[in-house]
Amino acid sequence: MAHRFHNIVIAFLLAFTCGLTARADVIYDETMLPMIIADLYQELLENEVDVDCEQLEEDLLSLHDHPINLNSTSAEELSRLPFLSDEQIDAILMLAYRRPLISTYELMLVEQLEDYEIRNMLPFVTVAPPEEQTEISVGDLLSKARHQMLIRTDARNIENNGNDPFYAAIRYKMQCRDKIELGLTIERDPHEPFYYKTKTYGADFYGGYMQLANIGKLLKLVIGDYRVGFGEGLTMSNNFAYNSKLAYTQNRGFRREGISRKSSTAEYNFMRGIAATARLGIADLSLFYSARKIDGNSEAGKFPAISQTGYHRTERELEDKRAVWQQIVGANLTLRLKRLRLGITFAENLLGDTLSPKSNYYNVNYFRGKRQANIGLNYSYQHHLVSLFGEVATSQNRHWGIAALTGISLHPASNIQVVAVHRYYSPYQDNMLAGSLGSSSRLTDEHGILLGADLKPVLGLQLTAYADIYRYYHPHYSLRAPANGYDLLLKAQYQHSERQLFGFRLRSKFRGGEYTHSLRFQANISVGAFRSQTTVEGNLAHGTDTLTSYIADAAAMSNPKMTFGALLAQQVEYSFSVPVTLQVRAEAFYAPNWNNRFYLYENDVLYAMNIPALYGIGTRCFLNLRYAVNEHLSLYLKVSETVLQRRWHSEHSGTTLPHQTDLHLMARVKW
């Protein structure tokens, strides 16, 4: 019985994969939207970018419902598409400036855009006559409002979670064009009680927001939950920032959204209060204030760290829930000239209790205290041949630390782009509100340079490579001495036809004595209503966390050695004539070392994402079903199962039992 689901999935894959060899004539198909989003997630995953994928997917699907009119758009609006470079945005605007577009397929005239990049754009853009700026009453807006309700429930890790494996979430959104948006979120994780003293009543997490946008000089006003990010993120950034190394290499790495509403179920790294941005001539002024309680183990007015998990299941987690007040106040002023943008950002972090990390070899220079001020200057200059960007920031600590990032992007031809980005984060720089390019999530004590190139030598072929070399001058977590590191990547993508896309990726990473070399091949083939994705990956790793019995072998753990890992995954998807889409994947993996682990993005129910760490020896499979009952109601189902051939233990991921099954259900109602 335990393997019956596996057998059904494998039989389905064998039955349908055999027919996916012919070449299709269909050019572009908006039903490929989930694949476009999956590709974007996979890139973020490979570059270890900490991003709220739930929020990202909702933003992209909102753009899909309200596409950008290419005849009346702007650079700021097109920059919401994270897969476009600044050069491509300029070229699209120039095309529409010459004469109004008649069809989205005129994007083929932009030589900077490859066919697959146009495919990525099509679900989010449209062509219509330029919109006239007319007065719209609040009554007219509300009468045309669109509403959406999401109801989700999961049964997670059914075999191991005892009598309470259930997750539940409800989300509501009302949207009136791009002017007014209102949202509410309620969530409860497995094992979280419905009542606990004065901290929990019903669900574990409640969130909401109201957003007004593009009303006169008011660009945006958010009351409730929101995120903020400016410049390169060295002063203030907790919003979605496409700051991966691959994105910088392709000149997509230094755009921030400013102020944006937070509508996801994430319980960490957001602000709650009020924020606004107004346009005053050539300047944009943003002001923000947040006050909310965060999780932390506070005793006698001190706490060692902020809890980021969002789980409140055990007595200790419940005691730490909302135990520390945090207030954040700040402002940003950005001057927008023709090609030059200059900004200054100030943010102050005020804690109700004193942050006092437990002394350890790696955290000597971490911030300690109740109050931290941060200030930074950022700039960007765009030209058709060169782009310059950067930010310099300082943060209050025992000494005022310095963080500096500066870069240049050269594009001498439409098919060539070269990038260099230098960063320096001093040992005393430990800004709790920052988020930017780095080898780890904590931007402190690091000196590095990123060199990258993006080439399109022939039609359909894209070559991308980067080398990121860095150094730590003091001990870091798991490194008891100064150390060097590097991250090298070579990626090739070839689109043989509109429905056949092949990818190759070679990557090598080294950090303080541990290294991993990986090679991946991926093929995406579509024929009519069928889509197939085949992934083959292997890696070599050197580390100390070796697969052993359930009780770790101390001798094996103390003698690191080279280990080999392998992954084979086959996924097929079929869209029936009725509004039903079925997606199935089977994976087999061999990862005897934690550094051999594999990450492969999985489609899930709407606005959900799952990227499990595949570690050990075993198989995994899942089945996704999407059924659009009518224009108002859609149903989603996902069943997944992981089977390990033996039990294993890891200091990184705890104890995992050999069999795990998850069931996800969601209903979406739109009116």
Interacting residues of 584 by C-beta distance below 8 A, sequence separation 6+: 9, 12, 13, 571, 572, 573, 621, 622, 623, 624
User: For residue 603, how many C-alpha atoms fall within 13 Å in the half-sphere facing its CB?
Assistant: 24
**H-helix or E-strand containing 258?**
strand 258-261
Mean pLDDT (the chain) is 84
pLDDT band at 3 (very low <50, low <70, confident <90, very high): low
Distance of CA 347 to the CA centre of its chain: 24
Question: How much of the chain exceeds pLDDT 70, in percent?
Answer: 86
When comparing pLDDT for 32 and 293, which is higher? 293
Q: Tell me the per-residue pLDDT of 555-581, one tens digit each, with 9 for 90 and over.
A: 444 456 789 999 999 999 888 877 888
Helices within 114-202 (DSSP H only): 115-121, 138-143
Q: Look at residues 344, 339, 233, 341 and name the one whose alpha carbon lies nearest to residue 286.
A: 344
The answer on pLDDT for 14 being more than 60 is no
Torsion angle of alpha carbons 507, 510, 514, 515, nearest 10°? 20
Specify the pLDDT at position 554: 43
Specify the pLDDT at position 354: 93
Specify the pLDDT at position 21: 41
Convert 296-331 to b/e letters by CB count within 10 Å (16 or more is b).
bbbeeebbeebbeebbbeeeebbbbbebbebbbebe
User: For residue 579, how many C-alpha atoms fall within 13 Å in the half-sphere facing its CB?
Assistant: 10
Q: Tell me the per-residue pLDDT of 212-243, one tens digit each, with 9 for 90 and over.
A: 998 889 999 999 999 999 998 999 988 765 56
pLDDT band at 660 (very low <50, low <70, confident <90, very high): confident
- Give the start-to-end residue ranges of the domains of the chain: 1-26+522-671, 45-130
**What's the rounded mean pLDDT across residues 374-401?**
90
Question: DSSP per residue over 377-392, as a string?
Answer: EEEEEE-SSEEEEEEE
- CA atoms of 179 and 215, how far apart (whole Å): 7
- CA atoms of 499 and 530, how far apart (whole Å): 10
Q: Look at residues 324, 358, 331, 326 and name the one whose alpha carbon lies nearest to residue 345.
A: 331
Residue 64 and residue 229 in contact, taking contact as beta carbons nearer than 8 Å: no
The answer on pLDDT for 343 being more than 70 is yes
When comparing pLDDT for 549 and 275, which is higher? 275
Specify the pLDDT at position 560: 60
Specify the pLDDT at position 208: 95
- CA atoms of 507 and 509, how far apart (whole Å): 7
Specify the pLDDT at position 338: 83
* Maximum pairwise Cα distance, the chain: 75
Q: Look at residues 483, 486, 533 and name the one whose alpha carbon lies nearest to residue 512.
A: 483
Query: Which of the 8 DSSP states describes residue 624?
Result: E
- Angle at Cα 334 formed by Cα 329 and Cα 337, nearest 5°? 175
The answer on pLDDT for 16 being more than 60 is no
pLDDT band at 256 (very low <50, low <70, confident <90, very high): low
Structure tokens at 58: 């909702």
Q: Please name the fold of domain 45-130.
A: DNA polymerase; domain 1 (1.10.150)
The answer on pLDDT for 384 being more than 80 is no
Instruction: Kindly report the pTM of this predicted structure.
Output: 0.86
Q: Which of 84-98, 183-197, 405-419, 488-502 has the lowest mean pLDDT?
A: 84-98
Specify the pLDDT at position 20: 43
Specify the pLDDT at position 19: 45
Interacting residues of 507 by C-beta distance below 8 A, sequence separation 6+: 46, 487, 488, 489, 490, 516, 517, 518, 519, 520
The answer on pLDDT for 26 being more than 70 is no
pLDDT band at 9 (very low <50, low <70, confident <90, very high): low
Specify the pLDDT at position 555: 45
**What's the rounded mean pLDDT across residues 196-217?**
89
**Residue 42 corresponds to which amino acid?**
Q
**What's the rounded mean pLDDT across residues 645-653?**
54
Other Cβ atoms within 10 Å of 631 Cβ, number: 9
**What's the rounded mean pLDDT across residues 329-355?**
94
Other Cβ atoms within 10 Å of 46 Cβ, number: 19
Specify the pLDDT at position 47: 60
Specify the pLDDT at position 241: 58
At 29, give phi and psi (nearest 5°): -145, 120
Question: DSSP per residue over 452-466, as a string?
Answer: EEEE--STTEEEEEE
Residues in the chain: 671
Specify the pLDDT at position 128: 83
**What's the rounded mean pLDDT across residues 550-559?**
43
**What's the rounded mean pLDDT across residues 444-465?**
91
Specify the pLDDT at position 280: 93
Q: Tell me the per-residue pLDDT of 592-638, one tens digit each, with 9 for 90 and over.
A: 888 888 988 888 898 887 778 888 899 999 999 999 999 899 999 99
Residue 354 and residue 302 in contact, taking contact as beta carbons nearer than 8 Å: yes
